[in-house]
Amino acid sequence: MSHFRMLPSITEADAFLKSRSLPAGLEVREQVDAFLAQARQTLALAQEAPWLSKQEVLETLADEFVQTSTRAPDRVINATGVVVHTNLGRAPLAAELFQSVQNRLCAYSPLEFDLKSGERGERGERVQSLLRALSGAEAGTAVNNNAAAVFLMLRALAAGKEVLVSRGELVEIGGSFRIPDILREAGVTLVEVGTTNRTRLSDYEQAITENTAALLKVNPSNYEMRGFTAEVTLPELANLAHQHNLTALYDWGSGSFYRFAQGPLLGHPTATQVLDSGVDVIAFSGDKLLGGVQAGLILGRETLVQQLRKHPLYRALRLDKGALALLEETLAAYLDPTHVPERIPTVRMLEESKDEIRTRAEYTLARLKLSQDSCFTCELRETESLAGGGALPELTLPSLALVLKHTEQSAQQLQTRLRGAAVPVIARIQDECVWLDFRTVLPGEFADLADALNALCLQK
């Protein structure tokens, strides 16, 4: 009998995977095809078949799927200490936000319908109202992310014209997003002014021509320059722009409406303070310091914001009803500043003191089941968390971490095993140990974290 006859058909493979409660059908068709192709190649090259029957081939397939299931876990535990972690979904949302928008998402809603007149309404009117109320801006709107907000801002207000930007602010953020590329794609001519480390007001003034449309300031949110440096402030830039009848634009990157009352973020500017500088339009992310869903928030002068809303690109960049509803509830939470830390997890984590973190860390440590002959050592140590998300590159937050070390396994091996837990735990490696920073472990996750650590201790 040909060895190839022991290979199962797609139908047989699907049926076997289903019998083992594993993913099957279209969801894993590519993986099944790849496995069978590799099996054919193995049989073609091998003098002796590695399997004795079709059943053994199916068992091997199932074993591979157990180890590499294509279904992503519903959630992970962020023990990295990076509050706004881009690779882990940035800002986590409070469960209350979802409960408050459930009816809107599970039924029809007046998304673009005026209940008073019975005629077509405007999408996002409440978001616009909340943005005005929270910032004092003449107008506000939202699109699907900050890159889109900056692109729309440039395209609608400066296409075919020159925009002046300091060389020290021609940044690149994650995913090869570069400011010069955005300007070019927006149909804008980039005019670089100053040098990498020093830009003066006179550099902008000397570069202004009859074809200049705007002066753009970009917040270098993922790095910081020190030493022999100089930059033009927002009030200076706005004043110069208005002297020459130009528009002053600001890519804030990571902004907020909340006035932090304690911790390293004390004194961080609010949207109101940024607008008070005189800048005409600002744009920032909804899922960084704001602690909401992915969105690009735009605030500024009414005539300019209306230009953005009327631009053909605006419709292509607008928010869907789910993101819009969650953004509304996030913004509404900021109407009462005293309760913002309770309703916005990102704000709570950024403001939390080391003593508050210690209580949770000690609770988790007490639940660990370490025997005296355990190969593990674990202890609480002081550490520093990060704001993350390209928000405040030099900001550190005093925190506490559980530090794990194994006598026979490397930190990389421990980290891999934690990622394979029932609820994957994402930690960091430092000094050949695994560090689990409790600042970013959310309420309700400590039992799961302890279970993952106990399972780790029981494994040989």
List, in order of start, the domains of the chain with CATH numbers. 3-67 (no CATH), 77-88+350-458 (3.90.1150.180), 95-341 (3.40.640.10)
Query: What's the rounded Cα separation, in Å, for the pair 436 and 115?
Result: 51
Q: Which of 305, 64, 15, 199 is nearest to 191 (CA)?
A: 199
- What integer pLDDT is reported at residue 37 of this predicted model? 87
Query: What's the rounded Cα separation, in Å, for the pair 314 and 336?
Result: 30
Place of tokens 């202004």: 208
Show the tokens assigned to 113.
Answer: 């319908």
Query: What's the rounded Cα separation, in Å, for the pair 165 and 163?
Result: 7
- What integer pLDDT is reported at residue 166 of this predicted model? 96
- Is residue 141 within 8 A of residue 303, CB to CB? The reply is no
Which ranges in 46-145 belong to alpha helices (H)? Answer: 54-67, 95-105, 125-135
Show the tokens assigned to 241.
Answer: 């722009």
- Is residue 194 within 8 A of residue 168, CB to CB? The reply is yes
Q: Torsion angle, CA of 319/325/330/331, rounded to 10 degrees? A: 70
Phi/psi of residue 151, nearest 5 degrees: -60, -45
- What integer pLDDT is reported at residue 64 of this predicted model? 75
pTM above 0.75, yes or no: yes
Q: Which of 35, 63, 39 is nearest to 51 (CA)?
A: 39
Blockwise average pLDDT, block size 10, the chain, 460 residues: 75 85 80 85 75 80 67 84 93 88 88 92 94 98 96 98 95 80 96 94 97 95 79 96 98 93 80 97 96 97 98 96 96 96 94 91 83 75 88 83 90 90 92 96 91 76
The β-bridge relationship of strands 247-254 and 212-218 is parallel
- What integer pLDDT is reported at residue 376 of this predicted model? 78
Query: What's the rounded Cα separation, in Å, for the pair 43 and 50?
Result: 8
How is residue 57 annotated by DSSP?
H
- What integer pLDDT is reported at residue 377 of this predicted model? 84
Q: How many distinct helices (H) and strands (E) make up the chain?
A: 18, 16
Query: What's the rounded Cα separation, in Å, for the pair 414 and 425?
Result: 11
